[in-house]
Structure 1
Amino acid sequence: MYFRHNTYNSIRPYLCLWSRSISKTSSIIPKPSLSASAYQPLFVEKHVYQEWERNGLFMPENFSNKPTFSIVLPPPNVTGKLHLGHALAGTVQDVIVRRKRAMGHNVLWLPGTDHAGIATQGVVEKYLKSRHNLTRHELGRDKFNKEVWKWKEKHGNTICKQLRTMGYSLDWGREMFTMDRKHVNAVNFAFIRLFQKGLVYRQKALVNWCNTLQSTVSDIEVDNMEISGPTELQLPGYNDPVKFGQLYEFAYRVCDSTDEIVVSTTMPETMLGDVAVAVHPDDKRYEHLKKKRVIHPFTGETLPIIFDEFVDMKFGTGAVKITPAHSKIDYDVAKQHNLALHQVIDEQGIIINSKEFNGLKKYHCREEIVKRLDELGLLKKVTLHTMILPVCSRTNDVIEYLPKEQWFLNCTSLNKKAMKVVENGQLKIQPEKFVKNWMNWCKDDRDWCISRQLWWGHEIPGYKCSYGSNVCWIAANDENGAKMISAKMLDTDVEKIQVEKDTDVLDTWFSSAIYPFSSLGWPDKYSLDYDKFYPLSLMATGHDILGLWVHRMVILGLELTDNLPFQNVLLHGIICDNKGAKMSKSKGNVIDPIDVIHGISLDELKKKTEKMYSDGILSKSEMAKSLEYHRSNFSNTKGIPECGVDALRFTLLSQDIKSHFVNFDVNMCHSNKLFCNKIWQSVKYTHLQFAKLKELPEFTTVLENDLTFFDSWILSRLAHMITIVNTAMEKNDFHLATKALRTFIYNEFCDVYLETTKPGFEHTDQKIGYAHAHTLSTVLNASLRCLNPFMIYLTHDLIPRIPAFEESIIYNFNDYDDKYYKYPKSDEFTKWRNVNLETQVDQFLSTIYLIRQLKGYYNISNKLKPTVCINTTNNILKADINKYSDIVKILTKCDTINFVKDTNKNFVSGQLDTGTKIYVELLGKDMSLAMREAKAKLMKKVNKLEDSLAKVRQKMSSPNYENLSEYTRMLDRENEKSKREELMQLKRLVVDDKLIASDNKET
């Protein structure tokens, strides 16, 4: 079968995507011309997103028969700004949903922002203090919350604008805010329903307490700071630094005995709340103290000596103090031994319930306690000690464990359900290595404290109802409902009930836990969105909140909707800098993605950092570390170069997102901007070549058999790339997809294939030019469609510009609708795969690469055009080089290709394989001098590589190597492979007609 074409009537300036919307707005929205000398991200990206929004391209079809795909964006804090962690998470999701749309799915990607109780309240409190010198207590709760709403309206849209800048294809018409009335009602409904089921209850228990915030905080808001030896920290509320990292040993005297028992502690001030001393039952040192008691040196009370297996006999003296009111471990021990709680530190961090120390701040009290114990002869020693200090991530204050009456969610039965759905495969967690973490969360039977002592947040629909001395707590929609319920419980008339509403708010994680279904209209089961898009198809988020958010969404989804909120979980790593250090303000290595997109000078970075310090966002030490980081990393480039959105997105997903940590390198990002320019230039080149065809006077008939050697090769490589990309995308291995795309487009298509077409377009046989044209059009269309989910702006601009034929001899890109690019499927291109041809071309290209390598090492200028001699026993290679000698000349910048060595010329050589040796004429330099210089250069490089390779291998074979992180070991494996391959390449080169390898040990 063959096709007959008019030369250029069929070239389409806009292929299909958004063609109607572009034609409507082209006079308003200027598009960069392909005549531009280079790719300019600013102009390619300008106004495009607004165009997409206006045309409703991100809205799902409510009554479509297409398969649905639904996902929600993990709601970022309303007061936050986009950071690279957000950029990574958003790009992962956007790539997934864009591909799903292109494959014919009806996609809902729902955006929203979180009210972020603690974070938002803290920001507004700082603002009021700095601008008006007011505290929230001076303002009052109602007025303060009005100020928070004002702040939200003024600053809350910042991150949403930045999400648009990144090109995220969210359905903004369904945008949620977790303080919207719809969500508030859903939160109240969930709380009351769980209370009615007996799962939510109120009791006194030990909680994480932040003195500065004056609130309980969740585990995720507690940073475990490792202290190695004596360390001074500046804490809120203290003028002088407080010393940590010391272990204090002091003695309790045994009643009616001269014996004493020495205990070890890092917090001597809490000994005022001691209720017992504990030792291990098998510790023979203390078996004579069974049923004995000790005397508290300051209260005079006697405390029991208890025996419990939780005690570590090797820690300190093997005896520990039990302070259940201020230690989570001791709290559990106290419950088992029926010991009382004796609270000695209050919510302000002040000592209470102690005669002589009352009123002291806890760390001032520590100094007094140690001093008094020493005076009493009870202090035995103070030694340096490595410890973990719980610190509030919001305030940097040390967390106190206090017994408080709070609301809790009983998680025991819920956890069993959550464990079961993973065990039976209903819920799939990717990567699977995190299943173990999931099971650990599910096995933790501690109940969840869901109340917070904040003013900004979801007010708990809980009421304290009393009649005389009888009190009960009720969850209800209002006071009247609470009275009705409590009257029955207290056996009295409704009008006699006294009601007091709880002033606490719910933990933000509680409201976030119902977000997947509340955002779709739950508890209204007749909601169209809930009916069509729930359960979600996927939940993608960081692995660090697997337990704190994903687990809680699952347990509440199962309990409240009788369904999993989603069946698939994709967990990505934490963003790090190019050295693998986690990005944080304390390290100073945080990079603003907007700075990467638009670029920023070193001076502007400095001004921006100093302003963040003056605004209270950074501390003085954080500012200093940031400035130093900028100087050490961006001085060479005088700042961060402009990279554009597409290069940033592509770079973020060039790393394995399933690793614990995902590194980001600005230099790699800038390299990907150059990759964008390479693509731009390839389309520009295609336009120029099609223009030549346009000038031809007659029709040309082209058959599939007219495709050239290199046309067939690039189509085979295209088929291979599409298979790799589709397989990788299905498994969410985006780094494999980006690697395949870059290798194909940059190295194979642009660097090789485009060069091979140049003689063809100049050839007298028009069929060759037309075959190239069909191939160029097909390859560009297919590869840029595969690239589209990653590089959204560049492909949006270029795909409609790719010249195309009404009917292609290779593949016709007839899109199924006019909204989205049809995504190439692997089976549609398998007919073009030819492995034997690829092997043949690989040998051909390897010859070219070796010629280039020889020219590079001997500094042979491209202007000199040397003669090349190829001595080979490979007849196929010889025939290919002979037939395509013009291609060899173009790709190597050489003049003549021979198969017999001219003895009158000076040659340098390299060994391609056992049957093929390459000779390149040495021009422009003294032969002996060039040989000496090259040999010295090669030997130096070889020796350096061998030493480096030996060090890597030595590290990998060390006894404790397996204790290193998987990410570190992965980098080492890649490093070893890269160095080994580079060394093998170098050892192919020949000096004085001898292999370099003969002068060095074999690899």
Structure 2
Amino acid sequence: MIWSAQTLRPLYFPKRHISRTTRIVLKENLPAVAYKPEVTEKNKYERWEKEGLFKADTSSNQPAFSIVLPPPNVTGKLHLGHALSCTIQDVIVRRKRSMGHRVLWLPGTDHAGIATQGVVQKYLKSKQNINKNDLGREKFNREVWKWKEKHGNTICKQLRTLGCSLDWSRQIFTMDPQRTNAVNTAFISLFQKGLIYRRKALVNWCNALKSTVSDIEVENMPINGPTDIMLPGYEKPVQFGLLYNFAYKIFDSNEEIVVSTTMPETMLGDTAIAVHPDDTRYQHLKGKKAVHPFRNTTIPIIFDTFVDKEFGSGAVKITPAHSKVDYEVAKHHNLTLLQVINEDGLIQNGGKFNNTKRYDCRLTLVQELNKLGLLKSIMPHQMTLPICSRTGDVIDHLPKEQWFLSCSNLNERAMQLVESNRLKINPEKFIKAWLNWTGDVRDWCISRQLWWGHQIPAYKCSVDKDVVWIAAADETSAKMQASSFLRTLPNAIKAERDSDVLDTWFSSGIYPLSAFGWPDSRNSDLNSFYPISLMVTGHDILGFWVHRMVILGLELTGELPFNNVLLHGIICDSRGAKMSKSRGNVIDPIDVIDGISMQGLKNKTEEMYRDGILNQEEVHKALMYHRSNFSNTNGIPQCGVDALRFTLLSQDIKSHFVHFDVNQCHANKLFCNKIWQSIKYTQLSYAKLKIIENGISRDDLTSFDKWILSRLADMVDKVNNSLDMYDFHLATKAIKTLIYNEFCDVYLEATKPGFENKNPNIGYAHAHTLSAVLNTSLRCLSPFMIYLTDEVIPKIPAFEKNIIFNFDDSHKRFFNYPQASDFEIWKNKDVEEKVERIINTIYLVRELKGFYGISNKIRPSICVNTRNEKLASDIEDHRTIVLNLTKCSDIKYNEAFDKIHVKALLDKDTEVLVELIGDNAQSIILAARSKLEKKIMKLDENLQKLEERYSSTQYLTTVPEWTQVLDKERLLLKKEELKQLQRLTWY
């Protein structure tokens, strides 16, 4: 985390509390008894931003680190996917700042052509009952800009709430003038290189959008049989998953040839029937033609090896205008393209079927084929349905003149960069996906039939019937360039700008460049911070975005926009299901931060239904999800920002899916409170320190002081290594283990006798250690828990000079991040082994007391029978600490324990006995042992079943790798649980 040096104004103890050799620096006390996120987080971000703490320093000679925020849609609101990605980036940049780098984390929002146009259309319809065509393009775009200025900053405010330390002074928008200039420059440059071209081709057409979409915006939905699907524009569901077999009559013959299709309405555009050249059934049909039943024309029978002789009848209908495969076949056989489905999804060139909706036509046409005796059969069939990922509509393939980017050579270079390790993809398991993307030879259709977006800087220049397309910054420039092609003066040329806009992913593809001011070579940010140091994004847009940034950046500048890519997983719920509206399991991160009741969740869901965001089925699923997951807590409990951030990065972000559990998040809020209370304990403990005549040295540190410092050194090492490798879950685990399990649960309790000891040096040794461990561990935690650490670190009491470690931040803008080398001196394996043996004994006593219900109010005696004399000696040396941590009254060694007791094995040399006090001791023992045996038996049976399942061939071949990893972790946890229970069975 970041603190301004001005916040560290030390308050000193009165004179009577200052030793002769050192001064205690006591900060103001924490204001509340318990941690309250709403209080701790209040106004902090506003102060940081006002002080300019996130502004990039361009004057320093320190190493630069730059990163761009993947621009969220200007229409968007914060969701857990954003929260995950932004927290990853924020942790990285905060650590870099505290290590002395001059950091630029650049924010921006995306104009999101399709999404924004759709939102504003709905808004205008609901508020003013008008559509975009009523306004016209210019007025409609003015309305979009108005909407953007009024509503478009929501997600930026929410990113501030999340604590994202972006340099807001450099905030950009993908349609601001500088970014628009960059897009136009890129298009014109690529056009002049011959990489962008215009041609008529078969494109993916979404009728609901009234626009083309790229191949990667088409989701292939598997259909395994008759399936009803609701489509936009239809009142009733449309049935898919059927194979229609019908016949064509052979011209001048009584013969017929049967073909099969899943889209019978497209037969209106059939221009040939194809069979395999080696298919003996059809050799006699060479040169023959078939009669089209609805066009009163004939179509040729062609022979082509693409036909599968074994499928169906071995004869295939050819519809070049509506099938990409047929389109390629038609080019080889010089077949005409007959378009029978128009851009409104209506039939054209179909005679009596004209102007009917495509799927309504299907029903009528099949009936007509049946009446003509041509329909042979309809049967269930597996198929793949192309679906628009934006609207859920079925994609039509239509012939249309569009702009394309030639990708084959660009892809080849992008492939070689990864293979040569110049471009590093982390984790490496996604390299295969990269090679798949770059191995695709299809060109990218980059034009869209929208009004909101970057209008294509290309002009149709014509003189009479002579036409040439020119990419240019303006009409005058276009005419000047066209004059040499059309061989006439510029003022004789008519120039009309293309009305289409560019695919949003095109402007996103040059985003790292445009964000830093390209093509202005004088821009200081471009010279100082480009190429960027790291690209962080979800693995699901590796092809959509990362790939495009690489190929465009490389082509336009000759260098990679970045050399390192970190891909993270997709956010899922606690059960591993991907969060989506259709599942009803979407969780709003703001609800996790602030908390929300069950009634609040219901009201919010119903409001989303009224706004058209959710349909009735999605509302039902959401309410069911809320009831099954949050009814026990009456909604989502308030967790705060820090707990949310820490929880998101407690999972392996490199997995395909990242699980999020609200219960774990609330547990991390309690972890925050544990930290809060540890600071208060330290403040109170410092107040107990007495005056000492002489200073203390490191020799005065107790074994527990040395142990926690050794554990601290190990934690700092693990955290730095983990963060260097982006293994955030290992870093959070190391920090939480040190602070929660070792520092708070053990060390703090171990210091209580020391502060009461007659020897004041012990208290001072503890105080030095408490301050150093808290300061160091919370600095390690600070990039994750930004608000809490900002609040408590300046309030950690300290010494003017700490004998363990002295953080001097007086001259720095940001606090130093702990480095492993600074703590190497404190690593002490011998001390760790000694203390951990003592701690294991303590834990075993606690387990026995817990299992047999021995209250801490009853302080029993314990006996340690051991052949390990060193263990007995160590426990005796720390008798007071052991009794304090176990809440027991006495310790005996290697003697007959004449009291009713329970016991368990610590190891092969040691058993631990705990006195059982009370008249019903025997019955308690019998009942507990019976319960224990049943629990062990049940757990053992479950483990056997799980091991059988996880080792089966079906499981190993069908279950995804990332799920197998999670299952293996669960299995290991259950085995450890069984092991712990079994050691209590030794009576």
| Pair 1:141–1:709, CA change in 2 (3 A) | same
Count matched residues: 970
Superposed, 1:609-758 pairs within 5 Å as 609-693=605-689, 696-758=690-752
| Pair 1:279–1:84, CA change in 2 (3 A) | farther
836, 839, 857: which is aligned to 2:830?
Answer: 836
943, 958, 977: which is aligned to 1:949?
Answer: 943
| Pair 1:338–1:840, CA change in 2 (3 A) | farther
* 1:872 corresponding residue in structure 2: 866
Residues 593 and 638, structure 2, Cα contact 8 Å, conserved in 1 = yes
Confirm or deny that 1:463 pairs with 2:459: yes
The Cα offsets for residues 380-403 of structure 1, whole Å up to 9 and x where unpaired, read as 322223433222333332221111
| AA at the equivalent of 1:167 | G
Gaps of 5+ in 2: 11-26
* 1:780 corresponding residue in structure 2: 774
Q: Which range moved further: 311-320 or 635-644?
A: 311-320
* 1:996 corresponding residue in structure 2: none
| AA at the equivalent of 2:660 | F
| Pair 1:540–1:318, CA change in 2 (3 A) | farther
**Aligned-residue offset at 1:295:** 3.7
**Aligned-residue offset at 1:229:** 2.6
CA distance in structure 2 between the aligned counterparts of 1:47 and 1:924, rounded to whole angstroms: 55
904, 908, 919: which is aligned to 1:910?
Answer: 904
The Cα offsets for residues 588-634 of structure 1, whole Å up to 9 and x where unpaired, read as 11111011001011111111111111111111211111111111111
**TM-score w.r.t. length of structure 1:** 0.94
CA distance in structure 2 between the aligned counterparts of 1:920 and 1:191, rounded to whole angstroms: 80
52, 56, 62: which is aligned to 1:60?
Answer: 56
| Pair 1:460–1:66, CA change in 2 (3 A) | same
Residues 5 and 814, structure 2, Cα contact 8 Å, conserved in 1 = no
* 1:97 corresponding residue in structure 2: 93
* 2:104 corresponding residue in structure 1: 108
Secondary structure of the residue that 2:348 maps to in structure 1?
coil
| AA at the equivalent of 1:915 | D
Secondary structure of the residue that 1:898 maps to in structure 2?
strand
| AA at the equivalent of 2:62 | K
Confirm or deny that 1:923 pairs with 2:910: no
Residues 16 and 818, structure 1, Cα contact 8 Å, conserved in 2 = no
595, 610, 613: which is aligned to 1:599?
Answer: 595
* 2:174 corresponding residue in structure 1: 178
CA distance in structure 2 between the aligned counterparts of 1:335 and 1:921, rounded to whole angstroms: 92
816, 819, 828: which is aligned to 2:813?
Answer: 819
* 1:1001 corresponding residue in structure 2: none
**Aligned-residue offset at 1:319:** 4.3
Once the two structures are aligned, what percentage of the paired residues are identical? 63
CA distance in structure 2 between the aligned counterparts of 1:16 and 1:224, rounded to whole angstroms: 47
**Aligned-residue offset at 1:300:** 4.6
* 1:37 corresponding residue in structure 2: 33
Residues 816 and 822, structure 1, Cα contact 8 Å, conserved in 2 = no
Residues 5 and 811, structure 2, Cα contact 8 Å, conserved in 1 = no
The Cα offsets for residues 343-393 of structure 1, whole Å up to 9 and x where unpaired, read as 110000001112231111100111012212222333232222343322233
* 1:971 corresponding residue in structure 2: 966
The Cα offsets for residues 224-274 of structure 1, whole Å up to 9 and x where unpaired, read as 334343222222222222112222222344556665443332211112222
| Pair 1:468–1:852, CA change in 2 (3 A) | same
Residues 5 and 809, structure 2, Cα contact 8 Å, conserved in 1 = no
**Aligned-residue offset at 1:936:** 1.9
* 1:899 corresponding residue in structure 2: 893
**Aligned-residue offset at 1:292:** 5.5
**Aligned-residue offset at 1:320:** 3.5
**Aligned-residue offset at 1:883:** 1.2
Residues 21 and 55, structure 1, Cα contact 8 Å, conserved in 2 = no
Residues 577 and 583, structure 1, Cα contact 8 Å, conserved in 2 = yes
Confirm or deny that 1:20 pairs with 2:14: no
The Cα offsets for residues 26-45 of structure 1, whole Å up to 9 and x where unpaired, read as xxxxx995252211111111
CA distance in structure 1 between the aligned counterparts of 2:972 and 2:278, rounded to whole angstroms: 53
CA distance in structure 2 between the aligned counterparts of 1:788 and 1:285, rounded to whole angstroms: 76
CA distance in structure 2 between the aligned counterparts of 1:924 and 1:320, rounded to whole angstroms: 89
Secondary structure of the residue that 2:61 maps to in structure 1?
coil
| Pair 1:860–1:319, CA change in 2 (3 A) | farther
**Aligned-residue offset at 1:77:** 0.5
Confirm or deny that 1:883 pairs with 2:892: no
CA distance in structure 1 between the aligned counterparts of 2:280 and 2:870, rounded to whole angstroms: 84
Residues 16 and 815, structure 1, Cα contact 8 Å, conserved in 2 = no
CA distance in structure 2 between the aligned counterparts of 1:901 and 1:545, rounded to whole angstroms: 68
* 2:981 corresponding residue in structure 1: 986
Residues 231 and 237, structure 2, Cα contact 8 Å, conserved in 1 = yes
Residues 214 and 444, structure 2, Cα contact 8 Å, conserved in 1 = no
**Aligned-residue offset at 1:94:** 0.4
The Cα offsets for residues 98-117 of structure 1, whole Å up to 9 and x where unpaired, read as 11111111100000001111
Confirm or deny that 1:135 pairs with 2:103: no
Q: Which range moved further: 465-474 or 299-308?
A: 299-308
| AA at the equivalent of 1:464 | K
Gaps of 5+ in 1: 1-14, 25-30, 994-1003
| Pair 1:816–1:464, CA change in 2 (3 A) | farther
The Cα offsets for residues 176-219 of structure 1, whole Å up to 9 and x where unpaired, read as 00110111111111111111111111111122211122111234
**TM-score w.r.t. length of structure 2:** 0.95
| Pair 1:988–1:698, CA change in 2 (3 A) | closer
Secondary structure of the residue that 2:798 maps to in structure 1?
coil
Residues 207 and 344, structure 2, Cα contact 8 Å, conserved in 1 = yes
CA distance in structure 2 between the aligned counterparts of 1:287 and 1:984, rounded to whole angstroms: 75
* 1:390 corresponding residue in structure 2: 386
* 1:414 corresponding residue in structure 2: 410
**Aligned-residue offset at 1:849:** 1.5
| Pair 1:226–1:870, CA change in 2 (3 A) | same
CA distance in structure 1 between the aligned counterparts of 2:788 and 2:815, rounded to whole angstroms: 13
* 1:148 corresponding residue in structure 2: 144
| Pair 1:922–1:310, CA change in 2 (3 A) | farther
505, 508, 523: which is aligned to 1:509?
Answer: 505
Confirm or deny that 1:380 pairs with 2:376: yes
Secondary structure of the residue that 1:86 maps to in structure 2?
helix
Q: CA RMSD in A?
A: 2.1
Residues 864 and 924, structure 1, Cα contact 8 Å, conserved in 2 = no
CA distance in structure 1 between the aligned counterparts of 2:309 and 2:972, rounded to whole angstroms: 47
Secondary structure of the residue that 1:878 maps to in structure 2?
helix
79, 96, 111: which is aligned to 2:75?
Answer: 79
**Aligned-residue offset at 1:482:** 1.0
**Aligned-residue offset at 1:338:** 3.9
CA distance in structure 2 between the aligned counterparts of 1:369 and 1:645, rounded to whole angstroms: 59
Superposed, 1:419-438 pairs within 5 Å as 419-438=415-434
* 1:350 corresponding residue in structure 2: 346
| AA at the equivalent of 2:930 | A
CA distance in structure 2 between the aligned counterparts of 1:282 and 1:859, rounded to whole angstroms: 84
Secondary structure of the residue that 2:456 maps to in structure 1?
coil
**Aligned-residue offset at 1:414:** 1.2
Residues 700 and 767, structure 1, Cα contact 8 Å, conserved in 2 = no
Q: Which range moved further: 418-427 or 837-846?
A: 837-846
**Aligned-residue offset at 1:329:** 3.0
| Pair 1:933–1:259, CA change in 2 (3 A) | farther
| Pair 1:924–1:379, CA change in 2 (3 A) | farther
**Aligned-residue offset at 1:806:** 2.0
Residues 246 and 260, structure 2, Cα contact 8 Å, conserved in 1 = yes
849, 852, 859: which is aligned to 2:853?
Answer: 859
